[in-house]
Amino acid sequence: MKNKLRKIIIDNSKYLYTVTDKYHSETETNTLTLKVFLEGYKQSPLIIDFLTSDHYYMGQVLKSGISLENKKTDSTDIININEPGLVRKLILQGIKNGWTGIIKIDKQNGLSYLVELGYDAALDLMTSKS
């Protein structure tokens, strides 16, 4: 069986992460989940859920890429959860929000994380049906 955990190193700490998504047919929404573990601490993951509209052709838009405006950098970026650069930013935001990797915290709202990173995300991701 293929190992679904990917590795990323940030500031000399090794993290393992996985990305999964689940379609909710009753609401035509999709939850993308990024689950991050500090190596050696599988019982205290950072869990970030992104609840978005399900795109008719692309499914979960954060896995296929979506253009979002970043108000902090005054740029438009392609946001794709499969890009390690974005995962790194989300982990750093989780640490900023209190996750240590050692102590368990509540699930985090991914759209709020994107907004904290400067993206105009909430409206774009919830209305991306086509």
Q: What is the model's pLDDT at position 126?
A: 53
Q: What is the model's pLDDT at position 81?
A: 92
Mean pLDDT throughout 11-20?
96
pLDDT > 80? residue 24: no
pLDDT digits (tens, 9 = 90+) for 110-129: 999 999 999 987 555 554 44
Q: Which two tokens mark 44? A: 């205290």
Q: What is the model's pLDDT at position 21?
A: 85
Mean pLDDT throughout 86-108?
96
Determine the Cα angle at 61 with ends 117 and 20, to 5°.
85
Concatenated DSSP letters for the chain? -----EEEEETTEEEEEEEEEEEETTTTEEEEEEEEEETTEEEEEEEEEEEEEPBTTTBSHHHH-EEEEETTTTEEEEE-TTSHHHHHHHHHHHHHTT--SSS----EEHHHHHHHTTB-HHHHHHS---
pLDDT digits (tens, 9 = 90+) for 29-46: 788 899 999 999 999 999
Q: What is the model's pLDDT at position 112?
A: 92
